[in-house]
A and B are shown apart, each in its own frame.
Chain A
Amino acid sequence: MVNEVWLAMAVCAIGTFLMRVIPMLWMKRHLIRQQVAATEASMPVWLTVLAPTMIAAMYGVSLVPANQSFSAWLATAIGILTTLLVWRRTRSLGWPVCAGVLMFGVVEVVAVLIAGN
């Protein structure tokens, strides 16, 4: 890799790191200032709305299969349904994910076997 590309990579790495750390430090100072001023320490409402919507957006993007075939969509739907059902039953993190991936994989394998016949 030539020097200029190393430099570009370093700028990207430092820039990304600063985008992760500076807003966090700013908010911590903001909350401390509010505490010192004896007002209720709170975040702007828009920021508290943005957090769940960002997670929902990540979920929506990750739902779309890379290969948008009928079997991939079917596997996604069954996998999501399985995840949801196991979550409702266990209210845990690991088991619903495991069950969802397993069911998604089973549907994908069955689809491959059917297509092979």
Chain B
Amino acid sequence: MAVSSNTSPVQSPWLLGAKDALPLLGGYIPVAISFGLISVQAGFSALATVLISTLIYAGASQFLFIAMVASGAPLWLVVLMTLLINARHVVYGPNLAPYLPQSRYWPWLMHGLTDQIFALAHSRLPKLAAKDRLGWYTAAALVAWFSWIAGTALGAIAGAQITQRWPLLGEVMPFALPALFLVLLAPRFTSTVWSLTLGCTIAVAMLLKILGISNGAIPLAALAGMAMFYLLQARANAKTKNGAIADGE
């Protein structure tokens, strides 16, 4: 499925959205199985575990939620920390807004706006005709959401057996996420400024993750990347200005 062929009128946008979301399953299902298993082991019922995945639907914060509740942390702190981790979502919607045609369904569909769906939609929506965007997004978001819910249910009911039987599967399948992010990111290395900005962001994110700052790594690395972008832009502007002054002399 070539990127350039995505505006093909013969392919239903729903089908295209579902197909585009398929690589996410490799990352979502193993992590969701782990969440289901850990949640049940922490004392939550299978129903409560599935409801957490259905309603909160934000991976890292769900793990934190169950870990903090299980450890007896004050509930106001649990809520605060969960919302803090999810605060990065506030920048996703505005970035997609220019590509969303008028529809009363968009606010409800934003429930499906995870990190991965945002990355996918930010690359795909601009390439689609306006009339196809609602169908594409709905299908992609639903495939991802249902896979997360199904994975959680599977983990809550049979997680221990699955991880015992296929231990390598849980290690291999999540590699779909970095592979997917790479494919979405590769076309953005279009200039020296962008290559350095994105390279710096990736390096900072890896460093923070290695240092154990998992939850803050994404927003902090993104801010470091932004700082790099503005620094490079300022240098380029200063060079242009100096060149113009030298020419004037």
Contact = CB atoms under 8 A, between A and B. Distances in A.
Nearest to B92: A20
A21 B98 CA distance: 14
Nearest to A1: B48
Contacts of B182: 59, 80, 83-84, 87, 96, 100
B84 to A, nearest CB: 10
Given A12-B83, A56-B221, A57-B222, A97 B179 contact: yes
A54 interface: yes
A35 to B, nearest CB: 11
A20 B48 contact: no
B89 A20 contact: yes
Contacts of A5: 69, 75
B138 interface: no
Interface stretch (B53-61, B128-136, B153-161, B240-248): B53-61
Majority secondary structure of chain A interface residues (helix, strand, loop or mixed): helix
A31 to B, nearest CB: 6
Interface residues of A, number: 70
Contact of A50 (B89, B95, B113): B95
Contacts of B9: none
A12 B34 CA distance: 21
A104 B107 CA distance: 38
Contacts of B55: 9-10, 13
Nearest to A64: B209
A68 interface: yes
A79 B122 contact: no
Contacts of B142: none
B201 interface: yes
A21 B57 contact: no
A11 B79 contact: yes
B171 A67 contact: yes
A56 B97 contact: no
B229 A48 contact: no
Given A8-B69, A12-B83, A24-B94, A53 B113 contact: no
B19 A94 contact: yes
A11 B86 CA distance: 13
A55 B90 CA distance: 14
Nearest to B119: A55
Contacts of A61: 205-206, 208-209, 214, 217-218, 221
Contacts of B217: 57, 60-61
Contacts of B122: 51-52, 55
B163 to A, nearest CB: 13
Given A90-B2, A92-B1, A79 B179 contact: yes
Contact of B219 (A9, A57, A94, A108): A57
5 contacts: A43-B94, A49-B226, A50-B95, A55-B188, A83-B182
Interface of B: 1-4, 19-20, 22-23, 26-27, 44-45, 48, 51-52, 55-58, 61, 65, 69, 75, 78-79, 82-83, 86-98, 100, 106-107, 110-111, 113, 115-116, 118-119, 122, 168, 171-186, 188, 194, 197-198, 201-206, 208-210, 214, 217-223, 225-226, 229-230
Given A13-B56, A24-B94, A53-B198, 7 more contacts: A12-B56, A16-B86, A55-B188, A56-B198, A92-B2, A93-B183, A105-B175
